[in-house]
Amino acid sequence: MEQSILTEIKNAAKKSLKARHNELADTHRQMDILNGDLFADGELPYFKDKIAQTGQFPLKPKKLEILQINVGYMCNQVCEHCHVDAGPDRKEIMTRETMEQCLEVIRNTGAHTLDLTGGAPEMNPDFRWFVEEASKAGIQDFIVRSNLTIILANKKYHDLPDFFKKHNVHVVSSMPHYTRNKTDKQRGDGVFDKSIQALQALNKVGYGMPDSDLRLDLVYNPSGAFLPGDQTALEHDFKKALKEDFDIDFHNLFAITNLPISRFLDYLLASDNYEDYMYSLVEAFNPSAVANVMCTNTISVSWDGWLYDCDFNQMLDLKVASKVKHIKDYNEEVLNDRNIVISQHCYGCTAGAGSSCQGTVA
């Protein structure tokens, strides 16, 4: 990419699209682009038509396994690729009242995994209370998606590794690359060094060690307009480099494809990569990934309690196509009888080995 465009995006990316009043902060504008000429003119097939070819339309949920709750869009970082458009200027934060409604669901759900995300979930003032209460529900796998740097961002967060350990939280953290240059380019200057320190702090209390039950997994997102490579090969490279250079251990690496929405969509358009990227996604379409795509086993809850098929649909404001649309009315049986809402961004989860918040799916 040309240096001037890169600088422009980097400077702009210190604030969310919303704070910049960027047109892409409007989800309708994003949907217009995703339904735009590239697909309307028949150059590429609509996702709906593509999955219909393999008899997979309409996409229906299977058994609910994962309840993913987004506790707010506030974050200490402003990553260039963020699909949440999170940042310090985002004020959407889950209230304790909504958390209580979530807890009611957590206590009664058939899902085996609870997955807290954000923003930086730790920045929600009721985060610790919520984790303490939720951990009492005895969910098998309790994930918190931590961006790592939050642990060092302020003194009040320094004890997070111990707090996570106390509640047997499964920590899943973003790490775009094992080199400083690539990490800082995507996530901001200094993020790599802080992430390394945070990982070492997590290792110190037992997280990520080879025989430890304290799970520490990393998430890899490509830092640019290309798809992730083979997850196993990337995991091997990450493990080798982080061990040799920093004596860091972790369990698994999840390779996640960037979906063409929000800030990543902004980047694709500004860098003139949108069309090529959509081609790459469509060309890599894999029907067996469709069968296991995460919206078939996940419900995503927003900071204000609305229900979505996934975190990406949440960011596009595409609520579930069900009578039950809000956590206060939650009914798993009714919800499971819905058709999943899809659009062209869904190609991101069905490319190659597939992509989900738990990594590849095919």
Partner 1 sequence: MANSYYDPADLRKFGNITEWSEELGKKFFDYYGKVFEEGALSAREKSLIALAVAHVVKCPYCIDAYTKDGLQRGITKEEMMEAVHAGAAIESGATLVHGVMMMNKYNKLSM
Instruction: Tell me the closest approach of the beta carbon of residue 222 to partner 1, in angstroms.
Output: 7
Edge-to-edge strands, sheet with 216-220 = 253-255, 216-220, 170-174, 141-146, 113-117, 66-70, 298-301, 307-308
Task: Return the residue matching tokens 């004020």.
Answer: 91
Q: Is 180 in the site for partner 1 (CB under 8 A)?
A: no
- Asked if 234 interacts with partner 1 (CB under 8 A), we say yes
68, containing H or E segment: strand 66-70
Candidate ranges 129-137, 179-187, 206-214, 313-321; the one touching partner 1 (CB under 8 A):
179-187
Of 67-75, 92-100, 118-126, 226-234, which segment contacts partner 1 by CB under 8 A?
226-234
Helix (H) or strand (E) holding 116: strand 113-117
Site for partner 1 in 235-254 (CB under 8 A): 237-238
User: Closest approach of Cβ 70 to partner 1, in Å?
Assistant: 28
CA-to-CA separations, 55 to 61, 191, 310, 356, in angstroms, rounded: 15, 44, 22, 21
Tell me which stretch binds partner 1 (CB under 8 A): 66-74, 217-225, 263-271, 322-330.
Answer: 217-225
Minimum CB distance to partner 1 smaller for 201 or for 278: 278
Helices (H), ranges, the chain: 3-12, 27-34, 37-40, 47-53, 96-108, 127-135, 150-153, 160-166, 180-187, 191-204, 231-246, 262-270, 274-283, 287-291, 311-315, 332-335
**Which lies closer to partner 1 via its Cβ, residue 307 or residue 349?**
349
Stretch that binds partner 1, among 65-73, 144-152, 162-170, 231-239 (CB under 8 A): 231-239
Number of residues that bind partner 1 (CB under 8 A): 20
Angle among Cα 206, 212, 217 to the nearest 5 degrees reads 80
Q: Please report, as residue ranges, which positions from 14 to 73 form the binding site for partner 1 (by CB under 8 A).
A: none
Binding residue for partner 1, selected from 45, 88, 206, 229, defined by CB under 8 A: 229
Q: How many CB atoms lie within 10 A of CB 141?
A: 16
- Which of 136, 74, 129, 64 has the alpha carbon at shortest distance from 99? 129
Rounded Cα distance between 186 and 309, Å, is: 27
Q: Applying CB under 8 A, does 5 fall inside the site for partner 1?
A: no
Our finding on whether 233 is near partner 1 (CB under 8 A) is yes
- Beta strand pairing call for 113-117 and 66-70: parallel
Is 81 one of the binding residues for partner 1 (CB under 8 A)? Answer: no
Residues 149, 76: contact at Cβ < 8 Å?
yes
Minimal distance in Å, beta carbon 227 to partner 1?
Answer: 6
Nearest-CA neighbor of 83 among 102, 70, 99? 70
Q: Which of 86, 106, 131, 227 binds partner 1 (CB under 8 A)?
A: 227
Using the rule CB under 8 A, is 321 a contact of partner 1? Answer: no
Smallest separation (angstroms) from partner 1 to the CB of 272: 11
348 scored as a contact of partner 1 (CB under 8 A): no
Which residue type, as a one-letter code, is found at position 239?
Answer: K
Question: Which amino acid is it at 89?
Answer: D
Binding mask 264-303 for partner 1 (x = CB under 8 A): ------------x--x---x--------------------
The amino acid present at 164, given as its one-letter code, is F
Distances (CA, A) of 289 to 218, 219, 294, 360: 21, 19, 9, 8
Exactly one of 107, 226, 288, 331 binds partner 1 (CB under 8 A); which one? 226
Q: Which is nearer to partner 1, 118 or 352 (CB)?
A: 352
- Is 358 in a helix, a strand, or coil? coil
CB of 223 to partner 1, least distance (A): 8
Does residue number 228 form part of the binding site for partner 1 (CB under 8 A)? yes
Q: Which CB atom, from 95 or from 273, has the smaller least distance to partner 1?
A: 273
Closest CB to partner 1 among residues 112, 182: 182
If one asks whether residue 224 binds partner 1 (CB under 8 A), the answer comes out as yes
Contacting residues toward partner 1, per CB under 8 A: 177-179, 181-182, 220, 222, 224, 226-230, 233-234, 237-238, 276, 279, 283
